[in-house]
Amino acid sequence: MVNDALKKIRETAKYVYERIKSKKLPSLDTPIRSLNNVTYNLKDGYFELNGKVKKRTLTASTVKGFAQTLKMMALSQELIKNDDIATKREAYYVSKNWDEARFTAQSDSDTVMDDVEAMIGVNRERLGFIPEEKGGDIAGDLVVIDKDPSTGKQIRVDCKKFGSGAYSVPSSVEHLGFETRAKFILAIETAGMFQRLVKHNYWKKANCILVSMGGVPTRACRRFIRRLSDEKELPVYVFTDGDPYGYLNIYRTFKVGSGNAAHINEFFCVPQAKFIGITPQDIEEYKLPTHPLKEVDIKRLKDGLKNDPFIKHHKTWQKALKKMHQMRVRAEQQALAKHGLNFVISNYLPDKIKNSKTWLD
């Protein structure tokens, strides 16, 4: 796999070099990474990149980007060869050594990195680039089998033994092994709700693995759950706030991936995930306290209904979004506390998990 990336980098550079030698202008193709250029692959359940590519030919106006792309590829090659890693921020600082070709802002270097990633067709972790953010928190009946970075010896991390704390998903998860007897995985939007469930031993009672996503789940978190779920054949439930952000940004990305990472969604999504709450239906049935939808919420709803290939394929989601648009309100996970602080543990989650009819796909 790793050598694949190396080979691809060399091939690309070789092509550019040969073109120049034969006095023709070289160009680099990068897939366009946006919702406009993805299709929802129904069979495997994720967003797949369409054929649209951005063709960048070497001209006076693109020469800077061209140089930066090649330098970034050279950096990646060096990282892979030396079995090293660089965070996105570190890569940005490395570029400060490139004289005029240096980046002036990290967002620029991130874009070029994403371009290289999409061009080579592997995820950036395999290119030696890792994100700054951590992968998410885990608690419950799970043993993660990892390696000691200094000795290379196998170590076993028991996620039951973190007390009131939690195991933290590393940024690269490809090498991990799992042991578990849990029945399902519950992915939660907010750290607050995760804390409550850990504190009251919910994972023990329900025999599950709890994951705190902390907003939109990172690639590592998605990959971790995907691998765990695939290997141990565990169902995955997602529990977010009842608002357009929870539905369209968190859950949709979790389940089918994002437009921006469409070239690698295949590995970085959890198609088997199910949405258990909070649904617009729940808001009504549990008589939850609400807040009015903000303008951005409404915009997001409309946008999702109009442009999101995933929503377009799921009537139930369309219905739910339209319902929310009509109700003009949203409700947070914490709103369940209206019925008692532990209502979520004693009633809500058990009821919802039991009754698959209340889920959204």
Partner 1 sequence: MVSTKAYEMASKQRDISVAEFFEKNRHLLGFDNTRKALLTTVKEAVDNSLDACEEADIIPEIVVEVIDMGDDRFRIIVEDNGPGIVKSQIPKIFAKLLYGSKFHRLKQSRGQQGIGISASVMYAQLTTGRPAKILSKVGPDKPAHYYELKIDTARNKPQILKDEKGENENSHGTRVEIDLEGTYVKGKQSIDQYLKQTAIVNPHVNITYVNPKAEQIIFPRVTDKMPRQPIEIKPHPAGVELGILLKMLSATSFRTLQAFLTNEFSRVGSGTAKQICEKALIPPSTIPRRIKRGDAEKLINAIKKTKIITPPTECISPIGQELLEKGLRKEINAEYYCAVTRKPSVYRGNPFQVEVAIAYGGDQTAEGSVNLLRFANRVPLLYQQSACSIFRSVADTNWRPYGLSQSNGSLPQGPVTIAVHIASVWVPFTSESKEAIAHYPEIISELKLALQEAGRKLKKYTVKKRRVKEELKKRSFIEKYIPHVADGLREILDLKRIEVSSVEKILKQMLEKKRGKLDKVGFDPSENPDYDEEFARIGSIGRDDEKKQEQEEAWENAKADDSEENEQKKEEKDQKENKQEAKTKKE
17 is an interface residue for partner 1 by CB under 8 A: yes
CB of 30 to partner 1, least distance (A): 16
Applying CB under 8 A, which part among 71-79, 105-113, 187-195, 291-299 lies near partner 1? 71-79
320 burial type by CB count under 10 A (0-12 exposed, 13-18 middle, 19+ buried): buried
CB of 301 to partner 1, least distance (A): 35
CB of 80 to partner 1, least distance (A): 12
**3-class secondary structure for 154-212?**
EEEEECCCCCCCCEECCCCCCCCEEECCCCEEEEECCHHHHHHHHHCCHHHHHCEEEEE
CB of 64 to partner 1, least distance (A): 5
Q: What angle do CA 220, 2, 109 make, to 5 degrees?
A: 60
Cα separation, 136 vs 122, in Å, equals: 22
Residue 25 or 42: which CB sits closer to partner 1?
25
Cα separation, 144 vs 157, in Å, equals: 5
63 is an interface residue for partner 1 by CB under 8 A: yes
58 is an interface residue for partner 1 by CB under 8 A: yes
* C-beta atoms surrounding 43 within 10 Å: 7
Applying CB under 8 A, which part among 21-29, 135-143, 195-203, 296-304 lies near partner 1? 21-29
| Residue 306 C-beta-side C-alpha neighbours within 13 Å | 6
Cβ partners under 8 Å of residue 233, min gap 6: none
Cα separation, 272 vs 255, in Å, equals: 7
Catalytic residue among 93, 237, 247, 286: 93
84 is an interface residue for partner 1 by CB under 8 A: no
Residue 71 or 124: which CB sits closer to partner 1?
71
Cβ partners under 8 Å of residue 77, min gap 6: 6, 9, 10
Reply yes or no on whether 167 is catalytic. no
* β-sheet bridge partners, residue 130: 87
Residue 351, sorted as left (phi over 0), alpha (psi -120 to 50) or beta, turns out to be alpha
Applying CB under 8 A, which part among 70-78, 188-196, 216-224, 295-303 lies near partner 1? 70-78
81 is an interface residue for partner 1 by CB under 8 A: no
71 is an interface residue for partner 1 by CB under 8 A: yes
55 is an interface residue for partner 1 by CB under 8 A: no
CB of 7 to partner 1, least distance (A): 12
CB of 120 to partner 1, least distance (A): 12
Residue 22 or 150: which CB sits closer to partner 1?
22
Q: Which of 27, 41, 77, 342 binds partner 1 (CB under 8 A)?
A: 77
Cα separation, 50 vs 39, in Å, equals: 7
Q: What angle do CA 97, 122, 45 make, to 5 degrees?
A: 140
198 is an interface residue for partner 1 by CB under 8 A: no
73 is an interface residue for partner 1 by CB under 8 A: yes
| Residue 358 C-beta-side C-alpha neighbours within 13 Å | 22
Applying CB under 8 A, which part among 95-103, 115-123, 180-188, 289-297 lies near partner 1? 95-103
CB of 83 to partner 1, least distance (A): 18
Q: List the catalytic residues.
A: 93
Q: Which positions lie near partner 1, rule CB under 8 A?
A: 9-10, 13-14, 16-17, 20-21, 23, 25, 58-61, 63-64, 66-71, 73-74, 77-78, 98-101
